[in-house]
Chain A
Amino acid sequence: MKNAAQNAFSATSSVLRTIGMTFMHSFRKRDTILYPEEKPYLPPRYRGRIVLTRDPDGAERCVACNLCSVACPVDCISVVKTEDETGRWYPETFRINFSRCIYCGYCEDACPTYAIQLTPDFEMGEFDRQNMVYEKSDLLISGVGKRPGYNFYRVAGMSVGGKDKGQAENEAEPVDIKTLLP
């Protein structure tokens, strides 16, 4: 009998305490915001919509190496390589199927040229799923994104338009194969 009374008391007080605590929350600072009138702060390294950036000279950074495509766990990136007349590689097609993308950022990690970058934009709702397929023209921006200063072809050994052999960073002049001097 005594036990039953005790149980009834503790159950009731627990419920009252919970009600009280919930009530007290109405005086706390709110975690939710009135989106979309009010936008949340997202850090620059937030993993949202993917963009293709350009190097400081304004040329496409992407060299169509296909590493993002192979790193992608959902296989939602398709890249087709082509070359300009000077031998510079660039993507003929760069397509991301955002309806499959899980925004893991592995593509950005894999990218050897800092071309592909994730941005803090997540507002990509569409009524038609087909509109979630982004082509290169949709992805390419006209800035360097999070990596100012880096230009892959200034470091790489291949000669491309405007940069011949031996003109990259830390490169010696092309070897004169006719000389026998040490």
Chain B
Amino acid sequence: MKHISKALMLMAALAVSACTNPNRFPGDGSAGGYDATAGQGGIIPGSANDPRSSAYFQQNVGDRVLFAVDTSSLSPEAQATLDGQAQWLMANADYLAVIEGHADEQGTREYNLALGARRANSVMEYLIARGIPASRLKFVSYGKERPIEICSEEACYAKNRRAVTIISAGGLTS
């Protein structure tokens, strides 16, 4: 409590709860940009067509970037995604973000923790360079502890070598 702000504590708590929430990564067909139940011009707050929602951030902005084996450099595609994240964070200034870095299973545990940190840091530095205050950003690495794909093939590994930006509202007002 001495050195850590309430906001950071909240972010830490969110990071933990987020990583145990199986619904964090929508994968079913209902997650598209169009939602029939939204009706004519109506926006359901929190749904994917509410531009201030985390669902919108995940699906329309893109919450993650992928990395090549044992690297933390940002591809042009990753940079384009992060440009979108930066724009969104600029427009939604009361949101905080925790960037989670991950590695695939082809590496030793502790090295992969450090590698995941390097990846998350790459994303954080990029967002800072695009004007997002460092005080709104924080990163944590899960190394190879939290894969989203479980096969032992490159198709899965490619999706696991990722940095995911988890946004949370109201951090600055708490």
**A and B: partners?**
no
A interface list, Cβ under 8 A from B: none
B interface list, Cβ under 8 A from A: none
